[in-house]
Structure 1
Amino acid sequence: MSFQAYLDTIHKKTGLTPAGLRRLADEQGWTEGGILKPSTKAGALVAWFKEHHELGHGHSMAIFALLKGVKKEGDA
């Protein structure tokens, strides 16, 4: 599955686009100005998305990768 496919599925399940995910991350305090805070741990973010949006581990990790800047929209 491509990274973009993960983002597409996340959008279908949550209604959140990458921009929306970034806004949510700022609201939750995981990022500041769109940059992932060093104190933000993948496990905490993954657990939150599993609980609040019923996403699986892989989709939640895709969000972490997006916020960390490791992956971006359109990546394979």
Structure 2
Amino acid sequence: MSFQAYLDNIQTRTGKSPADFRALASRKGYANAKGLLPGIEAGEIVAWLKQDFALGHGHAMAIVALLKGMKKEGDK
């Protein structure tokens, strides 16, 4: 499955776009426009996404990769 397919599936399941997740992470103090803030661990974000959006581990890690800037929309 491509990275974009993960993002599309997440949006279908949650109604939230990648931009929405960036904004939510920013409001929660996890990230800013440059990426994750210092001291923020992937596990903390994964736990949040599992709790609030019922995402599985793989889909939550896709959002982490997006927030870190490791991957971006349209990536395979």
* Pairwise TM-score range, normalised by the shorter structure: over 0.9
The RMSD of aligned alpha carbons is 1.0
Q: TM-score, normalised by structure 1?
A: 0.94
Which residues of structure 2 form unaligned runs of 5+? none
Distance of 2:60 and 2:34 partners within structure 1: 17
Rounded to whole Å, the distance in 2 between the matches of 1:64 and 1:8 is 15
How high is the TM-score relative to the length of structure 2? Answer: 0.94
Which residue in 2 is equivalent to 1:57? 57
Deviations 1:7-34 (A, max 9, x none): 0011011111111111001011101235
Percent identity (aligned)? 57
Q: Which residue of 2 aligns with 1:47?
A: 47
Change (3 A) 1:73 1:33: closer
Q: Against the structure 1 CA distance between its residues 75 and 33, is the aligned structure 2 distance closer, same or farther, given a 3 Å change threshold?
A: closer
Aligned twin of 1:11: 11
Determine if contact 1:10/1:59 at 8 Å carries over to the other structure: yes
Please give the per-residue CA displacement for 1:5-64, whole angstroms capped at 9, x wherever unaligned.
Answer: 100011011111111111001011101235210211000100111111100000000000
Q: Which runs of 5+ in 1 are unaligned?
A: none
